[in-house]
Amino acid sequence: MSQKNDTITAPLDEIFAACKEQVASGKGAERHGNNQPITEQPIYTGAQIFGPSALLFQSWKKTAETVRLLEMDNGYERALREIYGAINYLAVAALFIKEKKEVETGS
């Protein structure tokens, strides 16, 4: 990535790092991860069964919950965790679609 792009996207680095940390050691990792690669965890294998719509729905649900949390006293941290989770669901949906395309088109 060019230095110009690094400057433009630098504010997102902390957000994406928090998202990755949540996957590696957050609620999902504790409950479902079992130290397995993301493509072997229920978040991904569920998409293999139900399709990417399941991931998109979960992302929407977390996004909607964020609004409620922001209205609560001291809800900022909880709201951020929900947003990170929504981003992770979307990232896994993108991964699922990308891999499905590669399998179906060979590219």
Q: Is the pLDDT of residue 54 over 80?
A: yes
- Average pLDDT of span 79-95: 97
Rounded distance between C-alpha atoms, residue 1 and residue 59, angstroms: 28
Domain locations along the chain: 3-105
Residue 62's pLDDT is 96
Rounded distance between C-alpha atoms, residue 17 and residue 39, angstroms: 19
- Please tell me the pTM assigned to this model: 0.88
Q: Is the pLDDT of residue 23 over 70?
A: yes
Residue 1's pLDDT is 53
| Band (28; pLDDT cuts 50, 70, 90) | confident
Question: For all residues of the chain together, what is the average pLDDT?
Answer: 91
* DSSP symbols for 50-71: H-HHHHHHHHHHHHHHHHHHHT
